[in-house]
């Protein structure tokens, strides 16, 4: 068995591990990166990239269907699912070089393609090589959490790890779970010609603001996605060539295929965490705000920590770990201005606190300010007037959070990421001069509504009349 000594050893070459390894190597740290599967991890191979590529194809199909509202002949598109799959594959292939072993070796990283396992508090074994490092970073990600539903393990169900390999559309897709994977994949498959039924235990997108979710629920239903909320699955079984899910209320829902999208489980197994003295909780590796595990030589980043499971969170984690591990700065994670986007149409974007979370934390003084896209001229020109901007502010107008359901919400939220992160007030946005006509004006309108009662109230009218006497 050969041995390597290095400054930093990163386990897992997904969003988190790659960011740590690239940053550390470019800053001069002698870095080893260990990956047991495909370089790029979930986001590139079975997550963000394929899901957004599939959604883009689905959007193209839907815009043909809906073109009639512009007087442009809309028609039912003919969909070649194998070519759609080719598009998805092509996007992955076009991004893959950026995450590749070759690129990382070019940056000076030693890459080992094997499963890693701690053999002690300061040593890892992978592919017959013992790696000793001053610091380790655990970035092993997560996998689909499959619920213990009786009958499920005897069925050939789909997860995000298998869904994007399909070259034919399912005839009738049952989607178990109403989180972002469920919602995005339900709409994508419906638009690409499948029948889709969502089985949602509680409500759709439970982490999002219900008023904003309602916009998306209406659109999904209008497009023909059957959404069964409050539908707890009790059992799964075969039904001819397909599948059936029995609900607790006695209903039996049949489909050709079943997608399980019921959350994530951290990849902790076979890592020898006990040998390294690394404690875990039910959610993932136990870390403090500086992402230190219970072994002072080992940090953890990304999904394996059991925190918010997003690529941009893994990115923030990477930067916190680099500051701590390489520069000994006490940097901490900060989710106060954490954004997330569900990339269905209309998009749903949120940063900071939702109204419910803000009321829980700040009490009844919190105000919600809204502006619908129905009143926005750009939305009218685009014939995309569904949705709204919703700001959540303190009594004095400081922004606590912002949510958008509407066209390009994921792009529009960037302004609010800055405003919430910098603890700005509504006045900072209400006083901006924005280009006309833009969707962003809806946000400005929501911000401006904070002042409406005082600006157009009797006191202002009295003041204007009084000052008029001196003119
Ligand atoms: C369908 C889907 C869509 C998503 N869409 C979005 C989105 O639009 N935006 C967004 O921000 N997030 C999205 N996410 C979430 C995002 O993909 C994850 O949060 C992100 O990939 C987490 O990065 P990570 O580095 O923690 O883990 P991963 O990317 O999963 O990487 C972990 C790596 O570690 C490797 N590994 C595991 N164990 C070992 C071991 N013992 N030895 C060596 N290597 C090991 C794995 O093979 C893997 O490559 C999506 C997820 C899914 C499933
Ligand atoms: N656009 C994005 O950024 C994006 C897209 C996809 C995934 N992701 C990330 O991946 C994570 C995983 O996504 P997800 O949609 O699988 O998970 P999720 O945890 O967000 O949602 C899971 C859903 O499944 C339901 N559920 C759980 N157990 C169930 C059971 N036994 N029966 C029926 N329903 C059950 C939950 O009530 C919930 O609605 C997300 O939380 C998110 O962090 C992000």
Query: What is the atom index within ligand 2 of the atom nearest the CA of 202?
Result: 37
Together in a domain, 344 and 441:
yes
Confidence of residue 454 (pLDDT cuts 50, 70, 90): confident
% of the chain at pLDDT higher than 90: 95
Together in a domain, 203 and 311:
no
Confidence of residue 183 (pLDDT cuts 50, 70, 90): very high
DSSP letter string over 286-347? ---TT-B-SSTTEEE-GGGGTS---HHHHHHHHHHHHHHHHH--------TT-EEEE-SSSE
Residue nearest to atom 27 of ligand 2 (CA): 262
Q: Is the CB of 108 under 6 A from ligand 1?
A: no
Q: Is the CB of 43 under 6 A from ligand 1?
A: yes
Tens-digit pLDDT profile for residues 442-453: 999 999 999 987
Query: Does residue 69 lie in a domain region?
Result: no
Number of domains in the chain: 3
Query: Does residue 466 lie in a domain region?
Result: no
Tens-digit pLDDT profile for residues 339-369: 999 999 999 999 999 999 999 999 989 999 9
Instruction: Give 15 Cα–ligand 1 centroid separation in angstroms.
Output: 6
Query: What is the atom index within ligand 1 of the atom nearest the CA of 303?
Result: 26
Q: Which ligand is nearest to the CA of 300?
A: 1
Confidence of residue 455 (pLDDT cuts 50, 70, 90): confident
Q: Are 40 and 154 within 8 A, CB to CB?
A: no
Q: What is the pLDDT of residue 464?
A: 75
What span, in angstroms and rounded, lies between the C-alpha atoms of 271 and 12?
11
Tens-digit pLDDT profile for residues 392-411: 999 999 999 999 999 999 99
Q: Is the pLDDT of residue 459 over 90?
A: no
CATH number at 426 reads: 3.30.390.30
Together in a domain, 34 and 124:
yes
| Ligand 2-lining residues (CB < 6 angstroms) | 147, 176-182, 184, 200-202, 206, 233, 261-264, 308-310, 340-343
Together in a domain, 316 and 171:
no
Q: Is the CB of 292 under 6 A from ligand 1?
A: no
Tens-digit pLDDT profile for residues 375-395: 999 999 999 999 999 999 999
The pair of three-digit structure tokens given for residue 201, joined into one six-digit string: 């235990």
Helices (H) and strands (E) in the chain, counts: 17, 21
Q: Are 314 and 272 within 8 A, CB to CB?
A: no
Query: Does residue 332 lie in a domain region?
Result: no
Instruction: Give 290 Cα–ligand 2 centroid separation in angstroms.
Output: 26
CATH number at 220 reads: 3.50.50.60
Last residue of a domain, one of 327, 348, 363: 327
Together in a domain, 130 and 159:
no
Please, which residues bridge with residue 226 across strands?
197
Query: Does residue 200 lie in a domain region?
Result: yes
Query: What is the atom index within ligand 1 of the atom nearest the CA of 117?
Result: 41
- Which pTM does this prediction carry? 0.96
ipTM greater than 0.90: yes
Together in a domain, 131 and 7:
yes
Average pLDDT over residues 68-91: 95
Q: Is the pLDDT of residue 463 over 80?
A: no
Together in a domain, 195 and 301:
no
Query: Does residue 62 lie in a domain region?
Result: no
Last residue of a domain, one of 222, 237, 262: 262
Label residue 106 exposed, middle or buried (CB < 10 Å: 0-12, 13-18, 19+): exposed
Please, which residues bridge with residue 197 across strands?
174, 226
For residue 368, the enclosing domain spans: 339-455
Q: Which ligand is nearest to the CA of 114?
A: 1
Query: Does residue 382 lie in a domain region?
Result: yes
Please, which residues bridge with residue 246 across strands?
235, 252
Query: Does residue 117 lie in a domain region?
Result: yes
Average pLDDT over residues 66-93: 96
Together in a domain, 310 and 377:
no
Together in a domain, 353 and 450:
yes
Q: Are 346 and 216 within 8 A, CB to CB?
A: yes
Residue nearest to atom 9 of ligand 2 (CA): 309
Last residue of a domain, one of 307, 327, 347: 327
Instruction: Give 103 Cα–ligand 1 centroid separation in angstroms.
Output: 19
Tens-digit pLDDT profile for residues 320-337: 999 999 999 999 999 999
Tens-digit pLDDT profile for residues 132-176: 999 999 999 999 999 999 999 999 999 999 999 999 999 999 999
Together in a domain, 129 and 269:
yes
Query: What is the atom index within ligand 2 of the atom nearest the CA of 183?
Result: 15
Q: Is the pLDDT of residue 226 over 70?
A: yes
Q: What is the pLDDT of residue 284?
A: 98
Query: Does residue 205 lie in a domain region?
Result: yes
Instruction: Give 139 Cα–ligand 1 centroid separation in angstroms.
Output: 9
Those residues whose C-beta lies under 8 Å from the C-beta of residue 199, and which sit 6 or more positions away, are 174, 175, 176, 177, 228, 231, 233, 245, 247, 253
What span, in angstroms and rounded, lies between the C-alpha atoms of 285 and 306?
7
Average pLDDT over residues 94-110: 98
Together in a domain, 257 and 283:
no
Together in a domain, 14 and 111:
yes
Residue nearest to atom 52 of ligand 1 (CA): 47
- The preferred substitution site among 35, 36, 38, 42 for testing ligand 1, maximizing ligand atoms within 8 Å of CB, is 42
Query: What is the atom index within ligand 2 of the atom nearest the CA of 207?
Result: 20
Q: What is the pLDDT of residue 471?
A: 66
What span, in angstroms and rounded, lies between the C-alpha atoms of 333 and 290?
6
What is the 3-state secondary structure of 19-68?
HHHHHHHHCCCCEEEEECCCCCHHHHHHCHHHHHHHHHHHHHHHHHHCHH
């Amino acid at each position: 068995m050969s041995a390597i000594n290095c400054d930093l050893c990163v386990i897992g070459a997904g969003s988190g591990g790659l960011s740590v390894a690239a940053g550390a190597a470019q800053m001069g740290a002698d870095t080893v990166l260990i990956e047991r599967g495909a370089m790029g991890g979930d986001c590139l191979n079975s997550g963000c990239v394929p899901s957004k590529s599939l959604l883009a194809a689905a959007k193209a199909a839907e815009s043909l269907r809906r073109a009639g509202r512009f007087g442009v002949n809309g028609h039912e598109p003919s969909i070649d699912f194998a070519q759609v799959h080719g598009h998805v594959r092509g996007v992955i292939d076009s991004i893959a070089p950026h995450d590749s072993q070759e690129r990382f070796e070019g940056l000076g990283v030693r890459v080992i393609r094997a499963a890693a396992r701690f053999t002690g508090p300061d040593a890892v074994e992978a592919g017959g090589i013992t790696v000793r490092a001053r610091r380790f970073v655990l970035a092993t990600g997560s996998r689909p959490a499959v619920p213990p539903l009786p009958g499920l393990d005897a069925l050939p169900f789909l997860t995000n790890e298998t869904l994007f390999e399909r070259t034919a559309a399912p005839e009738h897709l049952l989607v178990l779970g109403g989180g972002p994977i469920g919602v995005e994949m339900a709409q994508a498959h419906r638009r690409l010609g499948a029948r889709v039924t969502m089985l949602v235990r509680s409500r759709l997108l439970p982490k999002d603001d219900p008023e904003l979710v309602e916009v998306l629920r209406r659109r999904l239903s209008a497009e023909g996605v059957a959404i069964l909320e409050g539908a707890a699955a009790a059992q799964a079984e075969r039904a001819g060539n397909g599948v059936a899910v029995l609900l607790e209320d006695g209903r039996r829902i049949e489909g050709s295929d079943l997608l399980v999208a019921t959350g994530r489980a951290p990849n902790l197994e076979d890592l020898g965490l006990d040998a390294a003295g690394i404690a875990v909780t039910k959610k993932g590796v136990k870390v403090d705000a500086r992402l230190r595990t219970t072994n002072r030589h080992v940090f953890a980043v990304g999904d394996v920590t059991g925190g918010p499971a997003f690529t941009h969170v893994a990115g923030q984690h990477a930067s916190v770990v680099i500051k701590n591990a390489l520069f000994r700065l006490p940097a901490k994670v900060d989710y106060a201005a954490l954004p997330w986007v569900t990339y269905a149409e209309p998009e749903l974007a949120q940063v900071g606190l939702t109204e419910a979370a803000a009321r829980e934390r700040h009490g009844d003084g919190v105000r919600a300010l809204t502006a619908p896209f129905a009143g926005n001229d750009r939305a009218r020109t685009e014939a995309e007037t569904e949705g709204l901007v919703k700001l959540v502010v303190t009594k004095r107008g400081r922004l606590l959070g912002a949510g958008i359901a509407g066209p390009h919400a994921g792009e529009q939220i960037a302004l609010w990421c800055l405003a919430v992160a910098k603890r700005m007030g509504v006045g900072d946005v209400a006083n901006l001069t924005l280009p006309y006509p833009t969707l962003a004006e809806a946000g400005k309108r929501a911000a401006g509504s904070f002042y409406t009662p005082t600006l157009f109230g009797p006191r202002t009218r009295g003041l204007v009349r009084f000052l008029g006497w001196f003119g």
